[in-house]
Structure 1
Amino acid sequence: MSGNIALLDNVLATAKSEGRAALVGYLPAGFPTVDDGVRAISAMVEGGCDIVEVGLPHSDPVLDGPIIQTADDIALRGGVKIVDVIRTVREVHAATGAPVLCMTYWNPVDRYGPERFAADLAAAGGAGCILPDLPVEEAEVWLKAAERHGLATVFVVAPSSRDERLAKITAAGSGFVYAASLMGVTGTRESVGKEAQDLVRRTRGTTELPVCVGLGVSNATQAAEVAGFADGVIVGSAFVKRLLDAPDVEAGLADVRTLAGELAEGVRGRPSS
């Protein structure tokens, strides 16, 4: 089952060989419904996303902003379950051929069973898992299950992470490193952008893995800026907002596809806006 992580590695390597960052899109499963979520994530790939992350909605998404929390609430009220998340991964991967990761807090995986979750995710064609709240020190059970099933384990680093901590996190991870920061928050854009650039530099000092940045990027100009110093640009809230603001699902799908195209131009250094 190692083909899943190999696909992720190849897509990231291809982007690098083209002299650009990869575009990574995020959307929670079950939003606005399970079926329409599959269509929306597939539209993100059609528009230009190289890699997609399927979120596992959580009732207390402490690391997510209000836009993603709103989408999670809609999905949970719709009755989304882990089986629907796995189905979303399967159908998006089958429809697009793109690497599909699951982004989830640890608690649902722990309850479901790490071995079972890894097996089901891999069988669905998933390339790996992003676990933002799982400390490396407590990750051994998951890491063994992921390795058995050929899944990448993507850990999250933050500007507050010291260099020794970065080295420990990146040594345990695979696929890529998720560098989290807060670009786009009112009044702090310039300083936080520099902080993110510094985080990428420090992270690269500890690993050969690509470093992808999730920074609240919402347009092509910001995507181009982040692509100037990172291996990948991760966009989530902006896609969710397009669906939330659309008058109907079809309009939302068109908006998502358009945004992906604009961001794809941005990561290629040719922002269209």
Structure 2
Amino acid sequence: MQLEQTLRKRLENRDILLMTHIVLGYPSFEANREVIRQMVENGVDCIEMQIPFSEPMADGPVILKANQDSLAAGTTVAQCMEFAEEMSALYDIPFLFMTYYNIIFKYGEEPFFAKAKEAGIQGLIVPDLPIEMGEEFYAQARKTGVTPIQLFAPTSTTSRMAQLTDHAEGFVYCIARRGVTGKKSEFDTDFNEYLDRCRAATDLPLAVGFGIQSREDIQTLTGKAEIAVIGSATIRLVDSDGTEAVGPFIRSLR
């Protein structure tokens, strides 16, 4: 409940929240530090930190490359845990981990959750773990209070959304379109109907991600969702213009 309460409290002063995504260790942990500083100082409400994995199946080419480059540089789960603890001690916003289930399985579910909790992580996004296979995962989530985030997709049926809602806490991540991250999403009639189905399925805040790239995108989502998720756009920006470009970009989104 802590994550949901924190987000709802922040919503008292904003029309919509911003959640951003970084890949830990890309291009370096020092760059991550600077990017997070600029994000927080310019109004980001929540940060999703990705523990890199060799086959990030939900991610498009920008985040895929970031994962691969981070791993090639030697990034470890232990380093990610240490970095998360450092950031959560510095900044008073929720930090989440996003990763793939193999990382958690290899680390061990019980020690992973315990260490994430110790590091100040409030939520966990694992796109490739079906709820039917997550009994121990959800047991550890309940035990530690690290919130498991569920994902809706345009292909999710109403009955599937209901099943996911039974396991949902914090907020629900609504994938804006079919496919992987990075490509711009179109907010058309089909999208609005999909968001209506998401809203009908849960009372939790809705976060919309995959292809959110501009102030216009966020304005379109305002009033329809509680959280806009910016991912590949900031990684592209760091690649092209350096970490110092992140602050002005975040400011431009409001």
Q: Give the deviation of 1:58 after TM superposition.
A: 1.2
Q: Give the deviation of 1:97 after TM superposition.
A: 1.4
Q: Which position in structure 2 is the counterpart of 1:269? A: none
Q: Give the deviation of 1:138 after TM superposition.
A: 0.9
Distance 1:139 1:159 in 2: 22
Q: Give the deviation of 1:81 after TM superposition.
A: 0.7
Q: Which position in structure 1 is the counterpart of 2:243? A: 253
Q: Which position in structure 1 is the counterpart of 2:66? A: 71
SS at match of 2:166: helix
Does 1:205 pair with 2:200?
A: yes
Q: Which runs of no fewer than 5 residues in structure 2 stay unpaired?
A: none
Return the match for 2:35 from 36, 40, 44: 40
Amino acid at match of 1:259: F
Q: Give the deviation of 1:233 after TM superposition.
A: 0.3
Runs of 4+ in 1 over 4 A off after TM superposition: 183-186
Q: Which position in structure 1 is the counterpart of 2:186? A: 189
Does 1:54 pair with 2:44?
A: no
What is the RMSD computed on CA atoms of the aligned residues? 1.8
| Percent of residue pairs identical | 29
Distance 2:187 2:152 in 1: 20
Q: Give the deviation of 1:161 after TM superposition.
A: 0.3
Amino acid at match of 2:248: T
Q: Give the deviation of 1:254 after TM superposition.
A: 1.9
**Residue pair 1:34, 1:80 contacting (<8 A) in 2 also:** no
Q: Which position in structure 2 is the counterpart of 1:127? A: 122
**Residue pair 1:210, 1:231 contacting (<8 A) in 2 also:** yes
Q: Which runs of no fewer than 5 residues in structure 1 stay unpaired?
A: 247-251, 266-273
**Residue pair 2:208, 2:227 contacting (<8 A) in 1 also:** yes
Deviations 1:54-76 (A, max 9, x none): 00111111110111112112211
What is the TM-score with the length of structure 2 in the denominator? Answer: 0.93
Deviations 1:45-92 (A, max 9, x none): 122110000001111111101111121122111111111221222122
Q: Which position in structure 1 is the counterpart of 2:21? A: 26
Amino acid at match of 1:261: R
Q: Give the deviation of 1:217 after TM superposition.
A: 1.1
Distance 2:78 2:191 in 1: 35
**Residue pair 2:210, 2:231 contacting (<8 A) in 1 also:** no
**Residue pair 1:38, 1:91 contacting (<8 A) in 2 also:** no
Q: Which position in structure 1 is the counterpart of 2:252? A: 262
Distance 1:99 1:195 in 2: 31
Distance 1:227 1:215 in 2: 16
Counterparts of residues 208-247 of structure 1 (less than 5 Å): 208-246=203-241
Amino acid at match of 1:209: L
Amino acid at match of 1:189: E
Distance 2:89 2:34 in 1: 12
**Residue pair 1:31, 1:72 contacting (<8 A) in 2 also:** yes
What is the TM-score with the length of structure 1 in the denominator? Answer: 0.87
Q: Give the deviation of 1:98 after TM superposition.
A: 1.0
Q: Give the deviation of 1:19 after TM superposition.
A: 5.4
Distance 1:117 1:39 in 2: 26
Q: Which position in structure 2 is the counterpart of 1:102? A: 97
Farther off after superposition, 12-21 or 137-146:
12-21
Amino acid at match of 2:186: R
**Residue pair 2:215, 2:252 contacting (<8 A) in 1 also:** yes
Q: Give the deviation of 1:17 after TM superposition.
A: 2.6
Distance 1:261 1:208 in 2: 29
Does 1:177 pair with 2:162?
A: no
Q: Which position in structure 2 is the counterpart of 1:249? A: none
Deviations 1:141-168 (A, max 9, x none): 1111111111110011100000000011
Farther off after superposition, 13-22 or 104-113:
13-22
Q: Give the deviation of 1:26 after TM superposition.
A: 0.4
Amino acid at match of 2:132: E
Distance 1:253 1:151 in 2: 30
